[in-house]
Structures are given as C-alpha cells and as structure tokens.
Structure 1
C-alpha cells in the first residue's frame, strides 16, 4: 500500500496500526496463494496427502481472518476513523472475509480429491487446469492491486472474471458430455463439478476485492455497478 496515499488521511500511530494490519492481510494472501497452488496440484495428481495439507492450511487462514477482523474492530473503536480512514479499515475487513472464502473454495477442491476416485477425473483435467491457472493468476494480481491500492489494475482484473466464467461454462459442458456417455460416472463427475464451481467462485471473490480497492480510492461503492458505469467513474 502506498504510504504517501495513506499519509493524506492518517498519521503517526494510526498509520503504524494500519500498516500492521495490512501486513497481516498480505501474509494471509500469501498463504492462500500456496493453498490454491497445492489444491490445484492435488487435483491434477490425485495426491491425497497434499489435499489433506490444503484442508489443514484452512484452519490457519480462518484464524488469521479472526485476528485481522478483531484488529479492525479495535481500530474503529479506539480511533473512530471517518471518511477515507474508515473506508480503508472497511476495505481491509471486507477483503479479509473474501480471502477466507477463497480458502473455503480451496478446501472444496481438496475434498474433491479425497472423495473422488482418480478415474472419475479422467478427461476433465485440461479444462480444469486452465481455469485453475486463471483463478490463481487473478488471485495473485488482485493481492498486488490491493497492496498498491491500484484502481486501474483493480478494474482490469475485475473484467477478467468474465473469462473465468466462460471457462467454467466450458467445463460444465464437458462434464455433462461425460455423464451422458457413461451414466455410471455421474457420482464422481458431480464431485468434480463442485470443485469447478469452487474455482469459479475464486474469480468472484477476487472481483469483490477489486471493488473494495475502488471503494477506498474513489469513495464510491461500485458493487452491482455494470462495467461501463464503473469505467466512467474511473475516468
């Protein structure tokens, strides 16, 4: 996060407190990136030990969310921030909540590996792998945009979710074809479907975080705003 930008609104101990909580968010984001990487690798290889590691990591992420949220609550109660200061604290708190949901999505992928036999995943990996890589890239770029409170990057990433949605729809069509060709595969394919849905939701969560960046910098809530209106706001 740009300290010069923060310096326009806050100073001294308050600045240090927010820098500390920002660092916690970035640490949480780094752990999430590793969790997602492990989840995708376990999905591709069927590595159940790695899938269990993904699920164990989620407990750490949940604990980090609670700690950051408590710190944000303490800052609000102690400092009683207003205007941009308050927007920043809220953006951090909301971002943490969405990061925790991304962790839940990784758990869903890991659970699929534990519950699904390897044969049930055959034929799905190419499309799932592409969507997974895209979701991982979105997460990395979203965290970078949040760290710098970069509105232009946030808007660009926000639009990327349409591509993830398209990849998800392609996966669904492929899975439907597999089920029609072999009805016996339906239970396993449905498990894979849940994993695909979880990856698609990661894109949605990244999109939410980008909206919080725009909210902090521009002071405008852009949730539910269409792309054209959002672009007009950012000009």
Structure 2
C-alpha cells in the first residue's frame, strides 16, 4: 500500500469517526427535545407520572454526555486533529456539556409538577406555557443549525435569547404579583419561579451552542462578544 492510499484510508476513517460522534450529539439533542416537550406537557396536564419519567430519563442524557466526551477525548489522543478538525471536536464536546445542562433544566421543570399543589396550578404554572414553547422552538432551531453548521441561523438564534430573557422578566413580575396578593402562594410560586428560570437557562445554553457553531466555521471564539461585534464578524 503506497502512502497516498494509506493517507486516504486514515482520512476516511477519521471522517467516519467525526460523523459518528456528530450523530451521537444529534441523537442526544433529539432525546432532549422530547424530554422538554414531555416536561412541558406534564406541567400543562399536571401529570405526575409523566414528570417522573422525565426525571428518570435524565440518567440516559448523563450517560450520553459521558460517552460522547470520552469519544472526543479518544479522537484527540489518537488523531491529534488540527485546524477545523480540532475546532469541530471541541465544538462537539462543549455542545454536549450544554445539552446535558438543558437536560437538568427539563428535570427542574418536571419537578415543579410534583412540588406545586393543584390549588395553585391555574394561577402559576400557566404562566410558563408561552416561555416553554419559545424555549422548545429555540432548542429545535439550535440543533438544526448545529447539524448544518449554519452560521447565519446560529447568529439569528443567538439574538433570539434576548426575547427569552424579556419573557422571563415578564413572568417573574407576574409571579411576584401572585405572591404579594396571596402570601400563602409563596412556596408554590417560588417552585414555579425556579422552573421558569430553568427555561430561561435553556435559552442561554442554546446561545452557547450557536457560539460553538460560529467558532467552528469562522475559527473565532465569539464568547462574550456583543451582538454588534458579532454581526461585523459575520459580514
């Protein structure tokens, strides 16, 4: 076997390894989309059994994070990737960590169903619905941008987090009103507040993943960069 054939074989095998680990990330993302949907449905319906299933499925998410991270470590040690290949492996590893945190947020949302009394449900949990749907849509679009490594989509989703933050502020004001009007509702409202905060954090995690997409494509670490500077970079 000549050197050219050997190089093609090594490169081809490396590509397969990269595609495999990317596929694992997408599978993890798909599971998280379902987990978030189930958590929001459990909130909407007051379904404690569904909430418990969401919480139990977090173990699978954690196991997937560990497996993908181990595979990324193995690829770096074995292949010693450089340039865009290294950026891809790092982007995958960082994305996996943020996806695992999204799983934790889903658990927090589901736990609210178990901790909030039925009598308090109508006035408090309903305030999470619009924000939950927004977070779910943002997660779906983020995973799509990651799958295609689409910089334009990543930038658009990155800016979307501002809307999620504003929704969180609006919900928080609403929940504060509930507590002032009826001090007996404070424990239940606080539970909902933490769950709403978890939804807001999903937006933050999606924003992080979009930054990893931009990092991979552009070769520039854009964390902590404001929107104007980021837009200039992508022109």
Q: TM-score, normalised by structure 2?
A: 0.94
Distance 1:94 1:119 in 2: 41
Q: Could you say which residue in structure 1 is the equivalent of 2:199? A: 199
For the pair 1:116 / 2:106, whether they are aligned, the reply is: no
For the pair 1:172 / 2:182, whether they are aligned, the reply is: no
Distance 1:19 1:104 in 2: 26
After the TM superposition, list the runs of 4 or more consecutive aligned residues in structure 1 that deviate by more than 6 angstroms: none
Unaligned segments of structure 2, at least 5 residues: 1-9
Aligned pairs (5 A) from 1:208-227 = 208-227=208-227
Q: In the TM superposition, what is the alpha-carbon distance from 1:126 to its structure 2 partner?
A: 4.1
Q: Could you say which residue in structure 1 is the equivalent of 2:59? A: 59
Unaligned segments of structure 1, at least 5 residues: 1-9
Distance 1:217 1:113 in 2: 41
Aligned pairs (5 A) from 1:1-235 = 11-235=11-235
Deviations 1:21-41 (A, max 9, x none): 000000000000000000001
Deviations 1:156-201 (A, max 9, x none): 0000000001110111000000000000000110001010000000
Work out the number of aligned pairs and report it: 226
Deviations 1:119-171 (A, max 9, x none): 22222344311000000000000000000000000000000000001110111
Secondary structure, counterpart of 1:11 in structure 2: helix
Q: Radius of gyration: which is bigger? A: 2
Q: TM-score, normalised by structure 1?
A: 0.94
Q: Could you say which residue in structure 1 is the equivalent of 2:7? A: none
